[in-house]
Amino acid sequence: MENSGAGGAGDLEATDAERRGAPEDAVQIPLEDSLDLHAFAPGDVPSVVTEYVEEAARRGLVEVRLIHGRGRGVQRAAVHGVLAAHPRVARFFEAPPDRGGWGATVAVLRLAERREGRDGP
């Protein structure tokens, strides 16, 4: 009987099978009511904000804070552009001084519809 040993095809197949069977294998980041965007590449910020807002609304959060930093306003403009166009955002505004001031934006969300088979106007 042959043993494929460490790193052999059998090991790879087991890993692939585990991945196919468990979507939890993806990195799970706890969803909180604020997201610091400094950790993301500038080009990724629009998609990160879009996905974050969708998931926050789906989970029932009604308000989130996006920390984009003060700088020259490039990231703030990108965040505001996404929020202005996002259907789950009811309104957004500069965070109060104790929550980041003009280095953060607060968005008030519309909760995701839970009824299936009904489309709103």
pLDDT of residue 2: 43
**For 9-108, where are the alpha helices, taking DSSP H only?**
9-21, 45-58, 74-85
Q: Is residue 19 part of a domain?
A: no
Range of the domain at 48: 31-109
Q: Is residue 75 part of a domain?
A: yes
The total domain count for the chain is 1
Q: Is residue 16 part of a domain?
A: no
Q: Is residue 15 part of a domain?
A: no
DSSP-based three-state secondary structure for 39: helix
pLDDT of residue 29: 65
Placement of tokens 């790879």 in the chain? 12
Q: Is residue 10 part of a domain?
A: no
Q: Is residue 104 part of a domain?
A: yes
Distances 8 to 3, 14, 15, 25 between C-alpha atoms, Å:
9, 10, 11, 21
Q: How far is CA 42 from the centre of its chain?
A: 14
What string of pLDDT tens digits covers the 121 residues of the chain? 444 444 444 443 444 434 444 455 555 667 899 999 999 999 999 999 999 999 999 999 999 999 999 999 999 999 999 999 999 999 999 999 999 999 999 999 997 665 444 444 4
pLDDT of residue 30: 77
Q: Is residue 63 part of a domain?
A: yes
pLDDT of residue 24: 52
| CATH value at residue 88 | 3.30.1370.110
Q: Is residue 25 part of a domain?
A: no
Distances 77 to 16, 17, 45, 87 between C-alpha atoms, Å:
41, 43, 11, 18
pLDDT of residue 12: 39
Compute the distance between CA of residue 21 and CA of residue 19 in angstroms, rounded to an integer. 5
